[in-house]
Amino acid sequence: MKYRIYCEPRPWPRTMGNGTRRFSPAWYSDLKAEIRNQMSKHKTVERFSGKFLQLYITVFVQKPVTTRCAYPSRGDVDNYAKAVMDALQRDKKDHESVRYWLFNDDRYVQALYVAKQWSSEPGYLIEAVGLEGLDR
């Protein structure tokens, strides 16, 4: 099943300096909340509880007027995927998470495919595919 999320995607910031631990920026919680909010509005959300899956994420980035690049170059694809994976993971402390989660834990994601492209409508396209025969 595919899910289209309309929001401004942002990559997780790079670790600078000596790589010390840092806390999530304020916008990161807002982005995850927006992804969860839009997921909860889908009529059906397929759950992969205890199942292994492949996750396909397409990141749609608004093209700046001044760029000549054919594809978005800012932000690593894995950093864009982090917010999506964190947002779609089940939160056992949050009873409202039943409305949006796709998988119990991101350790069940066996393959992750991420692409980014220009679009006039920024956001994400998310597709999760279960891996048959690899259930826990």
**pLDDT, tens only, 52-106:** 889 999 999 998 888 888 888 888 898 899 989 988 887 766 656 556 677 888 8
Which CATH number characterizes residue 82's domain? 3.30.1330
Domain count, the chain: 1
pLDDT at 22: 62
Residue 126 lies in a domain: yes
- The two structure tokens encoding residue 118: 């220009």
Q: pTM of the entire structure?
A: 0.82
Residues spanned by the domain of 117: 2-9+25-130
- Kindly give, in sequence order, each residue whose CB lies less than 8 Å from that of residue 73, ignoring residues fewer than 6 positions away: none
Residue 136 lies in a domain: no
* Mean pLDDT computed over every residue of the chain: 82
Cβ-based burial of 130 (10 A; exposed 0-12, middle 13-18, buried ≥19): middle
Q: Which of 32, 36, 42 is nearest to 10 (CA)?
A: 32
Residue 112 lies in a domain: yes
